[in-house]
Amino acid sequence: MSVMYNRVALIGLGLIASSMFWAMKRRRVAGHVTGYARSAETRQTAREIGLCDSVAGSLEEAVKGADLVVLAVPVGAMAQVMAGIAPHLAPGATVIDVGSVKAAVIEAVMPHMPDNCHFVPCHPMAGTEHSGPESGFAELFDNRWCLIVPVQGARPEAVAKVARYWEALGSMTETMEVDHHDQVCAVVSHIPHLIAYTMVGVADDLGRVTDEEVIKFSATGFRDFTRIAASDPTMWRDVFLTNKDATLEILGRFTEELFALQRAIRKGDGDHLFDYFTRTREIRRGIIEAGQDTDAPDFGRISKG
Ligand code: NAP
């Protein structure tokens, strides 16, 4: 693979940025990669584990001469980071973000964007419940979608190059309109996380979450909720604060459906429950047919015997 960007700056050195670094190295997508994170502790960890070719001591130093700058910080920090790097961007540089919400990030970033640079908002639909510089791995984006949400007036060549870049990291790409993106992500990611947080919270309220019994039998579904509910609190706080309208709308629909199921249970309406669960089972089959998950029992986890 030939080098696509000569100098890449990763701002934020968590799960997504560190995975991008290892994926760039795997296929030699970038020349020199510089990293920067807010705390000296994270920067020191990055140096110790060889994360990035160099670790910068300031935002200015990180973006100096970079032809690609990646904003990989929580959504709520995007405006502050963008304001900090804007005066130091090289002419012609492309800036991308990886935030889970797009309207709020575009609103935060665009006012600071110099006319001679290009902003291409991105959202890699890949992640784990782990965070921080040591959580990344090169394969995170393989066969996962990366949604690209071009801003008005974006230069098509800059957008097309960013799409090719994500493909070089292993992703499949699709462009999407901003409001549609935020609503789709509320359905497929944001509300499922909220439900997982709630379910684990309910078990905790009942004083049972650490019960031997709950842990012992958690393979029956609860375990997957606890995994999702272990996701980074800062990131998810920012997602709900910044994707407020779409998440509230989907939450409203979810609550209506939940009440309908509650009613069916109370009334003993087995047909309602059976038809509902049959429909949702079909959706799961569709996901497997699209190659987005495994149909191996227990999501392919290896049994400990
Ligand atoms: P993470 O592992 O929690 O890491 C966040 C990084 O951002 C840390 O290195 C942190 O530095 C740095 N940071 C925070 N505020 C900063 C600031 N003001 N200036 C400079 N650096 C700052 O996060 P992540 O999971 O990689 O998420 C990064 C972005 O990707 C978020 O916008 C998130 O919405 C998006 N995303 C996440 C996932 C996922 O599943 N995790 C999936 C898709 C997209 P310190 O360590 O020094 O605090």
Arithmetic mean of pLDDT, 154-171:
97
Is any ligand 1 atom within 6 A of the Cβ of residue 278?
A: no
Percent of the chain whose pLDDT exceeds 70 = 96
Closest atom of ligand 1 relative to the 78 alpha carbon: 18
> pLDDT for 276-299, tens place per residue?
999 999 998 888 888 877 777 766
Among protein residues, the one whose CA lies closest to atom 33 of ligand 1: 99
- Fold exhibited by the domain 5-176: Rossmann fold (3.40.50)
Is any ligand 1 atom within 6 A of the Cβ of residue 100?
A: yes
Cβ-based burial of 184 (10 A; exposed 0-12, middle 13-18, buried ≥19): middle
Is any ligand 1 atom within 6 A of the Cβ of residue 40?
A: no
**pLDDT of 304 strictly over 50:** no
The string of DSSP codes covering the chain is ---SEEEEEEES-SHHHHHHHHHHHHHT-EEEEEEE-SSHHHHHHHHHHT-SSEE-SSHHHHHTT-SEEEE-S-GGGHHHHHHHHGGGPPTT-EEEE--S-SHHHHHHHGGG--TTSEEEEEEE----S--STTS--TTTTTT-EEEE-PPTT--HHHHHHHHHHHHHTT-EEEE--HHHHHHHHIIIIIHHHHHHHHHHHHHHHTT-TT-HHHHHTGGGTHHHHHHHTTS-HHHHHHHHHHSHHHHHHHHHHHHHHHHHHHHHHHHT-HHHHHHHHHHHHHHHHHHHHTTSS--SGGGGPPP--
Is any ligand 1 atom within 6 A of the Cβ of residue 73?
A: yes
Is any ligand 1 atom within 6 A of the Cβ of residue 136?
A: no
Mean pLDDT of all residues in the chain?
93
Percent of the chain whose pLDDT exceeds 90 = 82
Among protein residues, the one whose CA lies closest to atom 46 of ligand 1: 42
> Model-level pTM?
0.93
Q: What top-level class would CATH report for the domain 180-268?
A: mainly alpha
> pLDDT for 95-131, tens place per residue?
999 999 999 999 999 999 999 999 999 999 999 999 9
List beta partners, residue 147. Answer: 123, 174
> pLDDT for 234-266, tens place per residue?
999 999 999 999 999 999 999 999 999 999 999
Q: Where are the domains of the chain?
A: 5-176, 180-268
Is any ligand 1 atom within 6 A of the Cβ of residue 146?
A: no
d(CA 199, ligand 1 centre) in Å:
25
Is any ligand 1 atom within 6 A of the Cβ of residue 124?
A: yes
d(CA 293, ligand 1 centre) in Å:
25
Arithmetic mean of pLDDT, 138-150:
97
